[in-house]
Chains A and B, each alone.
Chain A
């Protein structure tokens, strides 16, 4: 396209819009879907209160309804969790057969001294990282695809994705287990049919890595629709004129993505990543169901399942609470980042 022709339009559009400041700090306000209500911590009044002592009281009052809900539902359970974690508290103590005793950091020492805990922690981090990257890759690709295809394919894809999203983790995991069943699974049957005889009665859950791969795929299957829908909404919210202006400026697909789409999506992307981190770090159902409680010799344990097997299944509530506290502390990091991400998008808390 000859540049001279579009020059008048260009100046009219780009001067007010495509300035450097607009690109690096887009004033884009989007509704941010919140999957985990409980992950939103209560921010103390002082951080959000405007300067000037006189205006302090109303914000405090305004926080009261939230506090009424959050203190009994979040703060009190966390307090109880902390309290339990310093007690020797099992079934015998719960039913009054044995007096409760204070063990200080004994439960924590037990866990931190357990070699398996460190293996499982490392495994959990690795597994969560894999799931986050895969979820994002699949979700983002499909989100971009959604913007490119026509109405019917889009409707079909969205419906399919939302159906996967809506499937309860338990149901999804069970159905996928059937598909990968050693003796009767459709996958082995199909692979054998197309001539791969090595898959005759192949046990996908025998090897640690194939087991993690299958479970990871199911986790991604469950969580990519959220990423896809959120990013799709984000892409659609980028003003048409900006894209048009870029096109008129001669920007190609890659430049448009790098200079416009990516920076404008960054806040949403940050939130999606952090939510996925929190989500995938806490995976329980898929591992528990598909690997029957943590895999052969516990090879597929992740932190949540480990806590359950180690403590709750044998009614060692004190020990389980200590693992819970450790997980809480680990997850505080992405949560704080999440809050900061939220605020950057303009959603003041």
Chain B
């Protein structure tokens, strides 16, 4: 009886497997197949739902009505999507996997770009933008954040940069001027902490990647650098490669010097490791706003939160100083781009609407509404003249900004917390800079090799 039973079971299993092989992991049909260039109909637009979104919606509503009046038979339908990292990733993956429910135009964080490009979700719009009248006004370093392997996939809409917030009252009391070099910054932490033992010299965090990177860039290091030589097999599949492959540079002597400068701030005078090893950038905002720290490396858009806290009216902002006196440590050019989906049914309309949103008039209005920094140099100068608070930020942009490797491996490096892990290992004394940066570099190289 047993053999027969087994045969029956085996037959059922075999049949099941046959049926199942017909359903290998789902892969979406090519997004391009559905694309079109209709000049009428409904243009679907997804924008980020941000804190204080009502002001943004008001500006967008104006742009929509302007677009309606210049385009007969076109309706623009704007949806605001959840900005939370995992929620928006899920939303975008959904749009890529099901081209039928994809919008025409999307707003996206510029670090997400390479992954979206590799997924085949975005259309190349370089040729379209060549005809855009404001193209020459774009900040070149920021314009590069929309380019992957020589192709342009987005229109930089706004940026946010970090600078050094400091407490004017504590600095005056200690007889200090705002730091113009790393050495002065360290001295300031020491003096202020000595006078106020409960106050941190500077708020930094072990998970604050974009707080640490300026120190690395200032020291001449980087996360990864393009290797001049073409590596065999680097261009086999995946996103189109332009020959040179990325190679981790976090363990280079220059990078190590930068990492050391950042992690040295986690001492008793700066931000004690016990308190600060697990802080994110957002938590450092809270610390500074609550009056707990004398300095912090914060975004221009954090102003509102600082104004709402104990530090209100008692702070100033200067560009984050570099090692060399008077220099500015390069800031990370984080920001959002507007991109046209590959599955867009209204390609030209989408590009035109993006150009309208990124035009000088609307960039200025977006600054007024949301405090987002413009990507056009002319608008940047204009808003800085209008609001002196912005000067250190526009100065920082003018001094040159930097970016993460424009490669889809960045998404993996970021998700696997490679840089925070490295920082935390050093800060907690689990490893020295050489070992931690070496491990991180190995992981970064593995991520590049895997894509």
A and B: interacting chains: yes
- Contact A95–B31 (Cβ < 8 Å): yes
Name A50's closest neighbour in chain B (CB-CB). B1
CB of B378, distance to nearest CB on chain A (Å) = 37
Name B12's closest neighbour in chain A (CB-CB). A67
B120 at interface by CB-CB < 8 Å: yes
Contacts of B408 in A (CB 8 A): 92
- Contact A297–B120 (Cβ < 8 Å): no
B115 at interface by CB-CB < 8 Å: yes
CB of B342, distance to nearest CB on chain A (Å) = 9
CA distance A94 to B190 in the complex (A): 52
Number of residues on chain A facing chain B (CB within 8 A): 51
The answer to whether residues A314 and B27 also contact, given A44-B9, A56-B1 and a CB cut-off of 8 A, is no
A266-293 contact mask (Cβ, 8 Å, vs B): 1 or 0: 0000000000000000000000000011
Name A297's closest neighbour in chain B (CB-CB). B424
The answer to whether residues A298 and B417 also contact, given A96-B27, A98-B118, A98-B120 and a CB cut-off of 8 A, is yes
The answer to whether residues A56 and B278 also contact, given A76-B20, A98-B118, A100-B25 and a CB cut-off of 8 A, is no
A336 at interface by CB-CB < 8 Å: no
Q: Which of B93, B119, B411 has the most CB of A within 10 A?
A: B119
Name A55's closest neighbour in chain B (CB-CB). B1
Contacts of A310 in B (CB 8 A): 416
CB of B440, distance to nearest CB on chain A (Å) = 11
B411 touches which of A94, A97, A294, A314 (Cβ 8 Å): A314
Name B95's closest neighbour in chain A (CB-CB). A95
CB of A183, distance to nearest CB on chain B (Å) = 8
Among the 9-residue stretches A126-134, A154-162, A168-176, A201-209, the one with 4 or more Cβ atoms under 8 Å from chain B is A201-209
Contacts of A316 in B (CB 8 A): 412, 450
CB-contacts of A296-325 with B (<8 A): 296-299, 309-310, 313-317
A150 at interface by CB-CB < 8 Å: no
- Contact A101–B120 (Cβ < 8 Å): no
Name B423's closest neighbour in chain A (CB-CB). A297
CB of A61, distance to nearest CB on chain B (Å) = 12
Contacts of A52 in B (CB 8 A): 1
Contacts of B93 in A (CB 8 A): 91, 94-95, 315
CB-contacts of B403-421 with A (<8 A): 408, 411-412, 414-417, 420-421
- Contact B4–A53 (Cβ < 8 Å): yes
CB-contacts of A72-91 with B (<8 A): 75-76, 79-80, 83-84, 87, 89-91
B121 at interface by CB-CB < 8 Å: yes
- Contact A309–B416 (Cβ < 8 Å): yes
A51 at interface by CB-CB < 8 Å: yes
- Contact B25–A83 (Cβ < 8 Å): yes
Contacts of B451 in A (CB 8 A): 90
User: How many inter-chain contacts with C-beta < 8 Å in the A-B complex?
Assistant: 142
A330 at interface by CB-CB < 8 Å: no
Name B292's closest neighbour in chain A (CB-CB). A183
- Contact B416–A313 (Cβ < 8 Å): yes
CA distance A179 to B266 in the complex (A): 25
- Contact A98–B9 (Cβ < 8 Å): no
A65 at interface by CB-CB < 8 Å: no
Name A115's closest neighbour in chain B (CB-CB). B439
- Contact A97–B25 (Cβ < 8 Å): no
Contacts of A95 in B (CB 8 A): 27-28, 31, 93, 96-97, 119-121
B183 at interface by CB-CB < 8 Å: no
B40 at interface by CB-CB < 8 Å: no
Contacts of A97 in B (CB 8 A): 96, 118-121
- Contact A91–B115 (Cβ < 8 Å): yes
B233 at interface by CB-CB < 8 Å: no
B274 at interface by CB-CB < 8 Å: yes
CB of A59, distance to nearest CB on chain B (Å) = 9
CB of B54, distance to nearest CB on chain A (Å) = 29
Contacts of A201 in B (CB 8 A): 274-275
The answer to whether residues A314 and B412 also contact, given A92-B118, A203-B275, A206-B428 and a CB cut-off of 8 A, is yes
A127-171 contact mask (Cβ, 8 Å, vs B): 1 or 0: 000000000000000000000000000000000000000000000
Contacts of B120 in A (CB 8 A): 92, 95-98
- Contact B421–A298 (Cβ < 8 Å): yes
A40 at interface by CB-CB < 8 Å: no
B177 at interface by CB-CB < 8 Å: no
CB-contacts of B256-290 with A (<8 A): 273-275, 277-278
- Contact A98–B428 (Cβ < 8 Å): no
CA distance A344 to B120 in the complex (A): 56
- Contact B16–A75 (Cβ < 8 Å): yes
Name A57's closest neighbour in chain B (CB-CB). B8
Contacts of B425 in A (CB 8 A): 297
Contacts of A292 in B (CB 8 A): 207, 278
B388 at interface by CB-CB < 8 Å: no
CA distance A203 to B271 in the complex (A): 13
- Contact B118–A51 (Cβ < 8 Å): no
The answer to whether residues A315 and B411 also contact, given A53-B1, A96-B27 and a CB cut-off of 8 A, is yes
Name A71's closest neighbour in chain B (CB-CB). B16
Name B21's closest neighbour in chain A (CB-CB). A83
- Contact B277–A206 (Cβ < 8 Å): yes
CB of A215, distance to nearest CB on chain B (Å) = 14
Contacts of B131 in A (CB 8 A): none
B17 at interface by CB-CB < 8 Å: yes
Contacts of B386 in A (CB 8 A): none
CB of A177, distance to nearest CB on chain B (Å) = 12
Contacts of B421 in A (CB 8 A): 297-298
Name B426's closest neighbour in chain A (CB-CB). A297
CB of A87, distance to nearest CB on chain B (Å) = 7
CA distance A60 to B93 in the complex (A): 43
- Contact A94–B20 (Cβ < 8 Å): no
A93 at interface by CB-CB < 8 Å: yes
A45 at interface by CB-CB < 8 Å: yes
25 contacts between A and B (CB under 8 A): A44-B6, A52-B1, A53-B1, A53-B4, A75-B16, A79-B16, A79-B17, A91-B119, A92-B119, A95-B96, A96-B97, A96-B120, A97-B119, A97-B121, A100-B25, A206-B278, A292-B278, A297-B206, A297-B421, A298-B417, A309-B417, A313-B415, A314-B416, A315-B115, A316-B450
Q: Which 10 residue pairs spanning A and B have beta carbons closest together?
A: A97-B120, A95-B96, A314-B415, A297-B424, A314-B412, A313-B415, A46-B5, A96-B28, A53-B1, A95-B119
11 extra A-B contacts, CB within 8 A, seeds A95-B120, A96-B120, A297-B421? A44-B5, A45-B5, A46-B5, A94-B25, A94-B96, A95-B27, A97-B120, A98-B237, A202-B274, A297-B424, A314-B411
